[in-house]
Structure 1
Amino acid sequence: MSKRGDRLTNKSARGSRRKATERASSSSKRTKGSKKSAAGTGGGSRFWRWTKRLVVWGGAVALLGAVFLAFAVGFAARSIPSFYQLKSTQNAQTILVRARDGSEIVEIGPSFGEWLTYQGIPDNMKNAMIAVEDKRYFSHYGVDPVRTAGAVVEGVTGSRSRVGGTSTITQQLARNVFLNSNRTFDRKAREAVLAMALEWKFSKEQILELYLNKVYFGGGAYGIDSASRKFFSHPAKELSVAEASIIAGLVKAPSRYSPTADVQAAVDRAQVVLRLMREQGYITAEQASVDVDTVELKQQSGQNSVRYFTDWALPQLDILLPETFAPIEVWTTLDVGMQRAATASIDANTPSGSQGALVSLDRDGAILALVGGTDYVETNFNRATSALRQPGSSWKLFVYLAALEAGYTPEDRVVDTPVTIDGWSPRNANGRNVGETSLRTSFAYSINTVAAQLGNEVGFGTVASMARRFGVSSPISTYPSMVLGSSEVRLIEMTRAFAAISARGNSVEPYGITKVTTAGGDLLYERKKPRDVALVPDYVVAGMTDLLQTAVQTGTGRSAQIGRPVAGKTGTTSSNKDGWFVGFSSGITTGVWMGRDDAKAVPGLQGGRAPAQAFAAYMRYAVKDRAVEEFDTELDLPEWRLEPDDEYLFGDPDDYYFIDEQGNLVEPGRRDPSDTPFDVEGEGTPQNRDSRLPSVEPPPAVSEDFLERATGGALPPDPNSGAAPGILQPSQQRQPSTGRPPGGSTAPGL
């Protein structure tokens, strides 16, 4: 029993020890696990600590920003005029345009129709405007966060370079009433604050009423009632769905979508508005299918070509004047009588189905008349200042200017012969070549092969540079065909270039505004005369005038004759797509272009026909009160062109130092007038020199020390002449054949 008890006791002890070991091991594992867990918990706590900090600081910054925004909006709301004050405020500017004699040409300014209350505005008009401009209008607080976020994404991704397309109706109202149209972040921020201030101060209905009665629809029309009367001849209360869609589509770009300027563009835009109205549930599919083409537009009357001039001149006020909404008077260079004559000449001579344009400049660049098309009401596109067309042979002005500057004269002989330049083979209009002729004749009859040869000789880049020098800013090709006018230019650019020839080679800058005053007479701007800049020498101008005059007297421009001296050049492009004539007389330079806007051929259109005839019809009136002026075509060439001999290039021998053949320096005036500085073969000492005069030796050309170093030794005196030591006599000079001085020593530096 005792032994069994001992064994049981031993087993019990071993079991206890094993359990204790297991417990210790388990405890150790738990301890390690706890340490690992503690380590993991520490890393996580740091992450969450930083997250909390970012959230707290971000929230604090956002809160401060919100507080600042609230103060800004509140302050702006307090400064905004009342609803009734805004109703009576007209922020558009009235501009009175005067001619050069002070008479009124046209008054351009706002046209406000009847003010319509929110209830009086047709639902079609309100729905159309909201659908196309701000579909979440009734759910935002002045700024649409969805559109703003989209604009930010576009800005970050680089898909749009400017901030735009995010403005709500309220923002547009804020911009139209209080701000300008600059698309900058600063202006957009102020616009957003003012929009929220408007939403704070006014109801949605009041804001929409203000907007629809103040927004600009083009053509001087402000508000939907003025637009309705201008485009459809009836009040806005009678607007149909189709008419409302046309007006709503104008807000994005009044000029581009104006039904009086481009009916198709207006119709296409209106279709977009109708589709958006249907998608947003304002109209049914049947209403959206309204044929906008059937809408009857008001027949415009009373417009004339003066608007082409004002459309070009008045935008320059943005540069000339500080921003102002005060009424102003603009004094221009336009001559009313010449403008009427220009319009009549274009109407009478432009081929059927074509367009015509005319620009007329005074000798200082003042625009006397400007016609941009045959009918401003039909199309206000200005072909005189905006259209880029190939000038044809009128471009040869620059080719021949470069040739004259390079040394040619009108009398020089050239050869009209087939030519190929870099694979290009120009042909003459009649398909023939006349052989040898003069430069004058080749220009007068616009011989293409001669122009090509001249351009190739002086360099096509030189011709392009000449065009740039004379004011052509349009892109210029330097391919060989450019000499025949393949580079497109504007009519006003070509007229400017010819005007510089009329101005004796001085640069001419076209301008249309002389001064601007307030309605009370206070001077806001006055043009200052620019300094004269000579573009080419006088003899080049005289030669070019000679060529241009011959082109009208006996060449392709004979139809431009008006009974007094005229100089000019015709231009006709391939397939008769463009016809040009540009010329001048009595200080007035006029350019005429004719052609189709789609650049299709016009049968019979040549620069020497309709354009030259229109030029003559206008110029007869334009110069009738001016004195007849003869052209200065006398080629007063510089002396270096007339006497290209060596002596003239170096000047009068009695006026400069020279070295005689003995190497001696001869002073000015010391030489015998009958003598020459060099011996003539077969001649000795001149016989007409008085032998009784004492012999005076000229000073040495170089010092004695230099000659000694150069020859390697001291120079012996000449026993015969008694010359001073160091003066080499002919027999002592080194021979050209050896290149070495006497004694065989090399002469460094000689």
Structure 2
Amino acid sequence: MSKRGDRMVNSNKRGSRRAAAARNQNATPPSRKRKPPPATGAKLWLKRIVIGSLAAALLGVIALAVAVGFAAQSLPSYYQLKATQTAQTIVVRARDGREIVELGPSFGEWLDYDEIPQVMKDAMVAVEDRRFYGHFGVDPIRLTGAVLEAFGADKRIGGTSTITQQLARNLFLNNNRSLDRKLREAILALALEWKFSKEQILELYLNKVYFGGGAYGIDSASRNFFSHPATQLSTGEAAIIAGLVKAPSRYSPTADVDKAVARAATVLRLMREQGYISAGEASVDVDAVNLKLRETENSVRYFTDYVLPQLDLLLPETFEPIEVWTTLDVEMQEAATAAISANTPKGAQGALVSLDRDGAILAMVGGTDYVESNYNRATSAQRQPGSAWKLFVYLAALEAGYTPDDPVVDTPVTIDGWTPRNSNGKFVGEIDVRTAFAYSINTVAASLGQDVGFSSVASMARRFGISSPISTYPSMVLGTSEVRLIDMTRAFAAISEKGTSVEPYGITRVTTASGEEIYRHERGRASQLVPAYVAAGITDLLQTAVNTGTGRAAQIGRPVAGKTGTTSSNKDGYFVGFSSGITTGVWMGRDDAKAVGGLQGGRAPAQAFSAYMREAVKGRPIEQFDTEVKLPGWMLEPDDEYLYGDPGDYYFIDEQGNLVEPSRGEGGQPFGVDGEQVPRPQIPVAPGEAGQAASDDFLERATGQRQPPEPPMPRTIRPSDAARERAGQQ
């Protein structure tokens, strides 16, 4: 076909397409899909919430990135951090200003990453941060697991700090457990990971972390505990050092080898599970751990170990040297140490706490030898107080209406299947409350506890500062609930102060090296724990216990009030008492809670109390106790008034329900002194209440619609009867 023919064909095709397009334009357009209706109601709000949450999360990520970036820019260089010592030098002074101890950092040789034994690095990562090499400073897996665990039985978020976070805290922060500090710790950890390598972070951490005993860094710890540099650490020694980070005082090998080895076994197990060592290496030979011999340290370290950690809560963040002025009396501390050393039975431990009338800790001994064991039994150990617990039983009874002279009966008693027995196996019949307490008669204490209620006894103990768990089973009246010695001493100190609360404290003020005062103790507001007559009554009982009862060995030639305590099988011996404004508690026993032959509260503990208190009070004036029990009026009223009060203080109602006084005239108006009627007094009504002037219970009694309860059947112990008999004689 010619070219012209081709052009004609193409022209026809184009024409056909134009015609088809024209037909399509004239044709009815096809139906279009309907657009979905706009979201409304819950769907709209859900959409907004999702978008808002995403936007907020994005802004949060941006803000976090900016904060981390700024933090990374402001961080010192790696070499500056190596040269920085972040630990404080602390000078601790006694109450008279004498220096009693100086605590400061002990740094060994700096070990570069390649010089640190691989087993030391593996041990630390295994126990402190198993995903150290995989996270970015904060471990989201560990944090999520801790949060989920907090919703279980524990109800709190456990430790989630990575090695990097711990390094950030050690370098730049303190140990305050605040949300602000945790957030700053996380940001600084992210900044450290941004700026430094994992190797640099681990090197800084191992050379700076605190291992107890003043040792900072693995080389100092190795020299301190094993007498050789850290480059020579064995697998077992590395595991012991790695285990110290969690609790340097508790797991210190110089304090308790068994605990240190048990903790090291946990470290080795984690190392084996994570593939760092073989099963054959996952054991520690106790005999192979050669500990460095140390010179004897004064028992004052029990006191400093107790008070110095409180600085994290008392002080603002500071790393400059400080001086801590304390309540400790040097002479009293020496007397306390000598008393415990001389009187503690062989194979047992002894502890002592002594408080001034305002709660100042004058002396504290946590054990017979600080070097052998720095575990503070005066503040940390929870042991059964035995009959010393009867303080709270008799306090509850006195508050309920008993008096020291009320009759009680020492006779066999069974409560919910429990039958207490007296230590001598005998029953003496009718005695008074004072005698029952002085000779620590168990059957009477059990009857009193049942009468006032075991929950009332527990509540009384809580009121006086007992913070450990308290049982409400009947046997609790004999001191089966474990307590801390410092708490029991605090309770007796409140009795010494006539029922006023006492808060123990050990730091009076803190100054910087330049003399600037950055903390001063201020006594908190005291509260009256029991009425004055209750405090006087229990003081009467406590004084009798020392004068003629089980605590006679605690006498010091001046008035003393106190109570002995002995647990079953002689596992624990207690004596707590006070004289001349000083309250002292003594405990003795074995750490493994095994029986100690001949240990009784009225013997070794009371003797230690006496030996110490003779020295403690010799410079103080003799003080007589206030034991006069001045009962309140409600305890001395006749029966009807005891139940209802004075008839002149309440109103009756007539047949129409109108309130009238007992002596009334026409229309219910009372007579005045001169016989004239006077207006009925207006009884105030609380805002928002109806105008009823008396309770339904009162109106029922007043109208005779409900009779008063029948008098209780005769009991073995009847304090109210005795009180009323005294009232009738007056």
TM-score category of the 2 structures, normalised to the smaller one: 0.7 to 0.9
Report the Cα distance in structure 1 between the residues aligned to 2:66 and 2:637, rounded to whole angstroms. Answer: 85
- Which amino acid in 1 is paired with 2:452? V
Match for residue 582 of structure 2 among 573, 585, 588: 588
CA distance in 1 between partners of 2:341 and 2:130 (Å) = 48
Preserved CA contact (<8 Å) 2:173 2:317: no
5 Å matches for 1:167-316? 169-180=163-174, 194-195=188-189, 197-199=191-193, 201-203=195-197, 205-274=199-268, 291=285, 293-316=287-310
Amino acid at match of 1:601: A
Q: Provide the rounded CA distance (Å) in 1 between the counterparts of 2:632 and 2:276.
A: 81
Superposed displacement of residue 329, structure 1: 1.9
Corresponding residue number in structure 2 for 1:101: 96
User: What residue number does 2:663 align with?
Assistant: 659
Worse overlay, 549-558 or 182-191: 182-191
- Checking the alignment, whether the CA contact within 8 Å between 2:261 and 2:284 is kept in structure 1 is no
**Inter-CA distance 324–459: structure 2 relative to 1 (3 Å threshold):** same
- Determine whether 1:80 maps to 2:75: yes
Q: Please give the secondary structure, in 2, of the residue aligned with 1:525.
A: strand
Q: Deviations over 1:62-106 (max 9, x none)?
A: 999998877665544432212221112112223222111111122
Please tell me whether residue 343 in structure 1 is matched to residue 337 in structure 2.
yes
Which residue is equivalent to 1:710? none
Relative to structure 1, the CA distance from residue 524 to residue 700 in structure 2 (aligned partners, 3 Å threshold; closer, same or farther) is: same
Q: Is the 8 A contact 1:516 1:525 kept in 2?
A: yes
Question: 1:164·1:183 contact (CA, 8 Å) conserved in 2?
Answer: no
CA-based RMSD of the aligned residues comes to 4.0
- The verdict on how the C-alpha distance between 1:625 and 1:181 changes in structure 2, with shifts beyond 3 A counting, is closer
- Structure 1 660/79 Cα, relative in aligned 2: closer, same or farther at 3 Å? closer
Contact 2:411 2:429 in 1 (8 A): yes
One-letter code aligned to 1:364: D
Matches within 5 A, 1:577-656: 577-638=571-632, 641=635, 644=638, 650=646
Task: Report SS of the residue matched to 1:528.
Answer: coil
8 Å contact kept, 2:410–2:444: yes
2:513 aligned with 1:536 = no
Deviation readout 1:394-420 (Å, 9 max, x if unpaired): 122222223323333322322222222
2:508 is aligned, of 508, 514, 519, to 514
**Matching residue of 1:562:** 556
Amino acid at match of 2:378: A
- Equivalent of 1:396 in 378, 390, 395: 390
CA distance in 2, matches of 1:150, 1:536: 48
1:51-70 map, 5 Å:
none
Moved more, 203-212 or 366-375: 203-212
Secondary structure of 1:517 counterpart: strand
Q: Measure, in 1, the Cα distance between the counterparts of 2:103 and 2:467.
A: 30
Q: Where does structure 2 lack aligned partners over 5 or more consecutive residues?
A: 1-31, 36-52, 650-660, 681-702, 704-730
Which residues in structure 2 correspond to 1:10-49 (within 5 Å)?
A: none
Query: SS of 2:371's equivalent?
Result: coil
Which residue, out of 104, 109, 112, partners 2:107?
A: 112
Q: 1:66 to 1:334 in 2, by over 3 A?
A: closer
Cα distance in 2 for residues equivalent to 1:297 and 1:511: 35
Decide whether the 8 Å contact of 1:163 with 1:185 is kept in 2.
no
1:340-384 superposed Cα distances (whole Å, 9 cap, x missing partner)? 111111111111222211111111111111112222222222222
SS, match of residue 356 in structure 1: strand
Shift of 1:311: 2.4
**Residues 264 and 284 in structure 2, CA contact (< 8 A), matched pair in contact too:** no
SS at match of 2:445: helix
Query: Would you say the 8 A contact 2:176–2:313 is kept in 1?
Result: no
CA displacement, residues 423-454 of structure 1 (integer Å, 9 cap, x when unaligned): 32222111111112222222111112222222
- How far is the alpha carbon of 1:593 from its aligned partner? 1.2
AA partner of residue 699 (structure 1): E
How far did 1:252 drift?
4.2
TM-score by length of 2: 0.75
Deviations 1:158-197 (A, max 9, x none): 6897777776654543343234567899877765664564
The offset of 1:289, in angstroms, is 6.1
- Distance change in 2, residues 1:222/1:359 (3 Å): same
- 2:540 maps to 1:546: yes
Question: Equivalents in 1 of 2:679, 2:181: separation in Å?
Answer: 78
Matches of 1:242 and 1:212 in 2, distance apart?
17
The CA deviation string for residues 229-259 of structure 1, in whole angstroms up to 9 with x for no partner, is 2111223333334333322333344334321
Is this contact kept in 1: 2:353–2:365, CA < 8 A? yes
What are structure 1's unaligned runs of at least 5 residues? 1-38, 43-57, 671-697, 704-735, 737-750
Q: 1:461 maps to which residue?
A: 455
Q: Secondary structure at the match of 2:357?
A: coil
Residue 731 of structure 1 corresponds to none
Q: Which moved more, 1:609-618 or 1:320-329?
A: 320-329
Following the alignment from structure 1 to structure 2, what is the Cα–Cα distance between the partners of residues 65 and 469?
Answer: 46
- Contact 2:146–2:160 (CA under 8 A) maintained in structure 1: no
Q: Is residue 557–residue 612 contact of structure 1 (8 Å, CA) maintained in 2?
A: yes
Is residue 334 from structure 1 mapped to residue 328 from structure 2 by the alignment?
A: yes
* Cα distance change on mapping 1:636 and 1:228 into 2, 3 Å: same
| TM-aligned CA deviation for residue 141 of structure 1 | 7.7
Conservation of the 8 A alpha-carbon contact between 1:333 and 1:512: yes
Q: In structure 2, what is the equivalent of residue 35 of structure 1? A: none
Inter-CA distance 314–554: structure 2 relative to 1 (3 Å threshold): same
Q: Determine helix, strand or coil for the equivalent of 1:594.
A: strand
Q: CA deviation at 1:641?
A: 4.6
Query: Which structure has the bigger radius of gyration?
Result: 1
CA offset digits 1:520-570 (Å, max 9, x no partner): 222222222334422223332222222211111111111111111111111
Question: How much does 1:296 deviate?
Answer: 0.3
Contact map agreement 1:659 1:701 (CA 8 A) in 2:
no
Which whole-Å CA distance do the structure 2 matches of 1:299 and 1:659 have between them? 91
Asked if the contact 1:174/1:195 (under 8 Å) is kept, the reply is yes
CA contact (8 A) 1:162 1:183 kept: no
Letter in 2 for 1:385: T
Which moved further from structure 2: 349-358 or 274-283? Answer: 274-283
- Map residues 457-536 of structure 1 onto 2, 5 A cutoff: 457-536=451-530
Q: CA deviation at 1:610?
A: 0.8
Alignment of 1:699 with 2:694, yes or no, is: no
Quote how far apart the aligned CAs of 1:140 are. Answer: 5.0
- Separation in 1 of the partners of 2:664 and 2:198? 102
Instruction: Give secondary structure in 2 for the equivalent of 1:659.
Output: coil
Q: Percent identity among equivalent residues? A: 73
TM-aligned CA deviation for residue 151 of structure 1:
4.8
Q: 8 Å contact 1:128–1:274 — kept in the other structure? A: yes
**Alignment partners' CA distance in 2, 1:664 and 1:65:** 76
Counterpart-to-counterpart distance in 2, 1:294 and 1:601: 32
Q: CA deviation at 1:271?
A: 4.1
Residue identity matched to 2:672: E
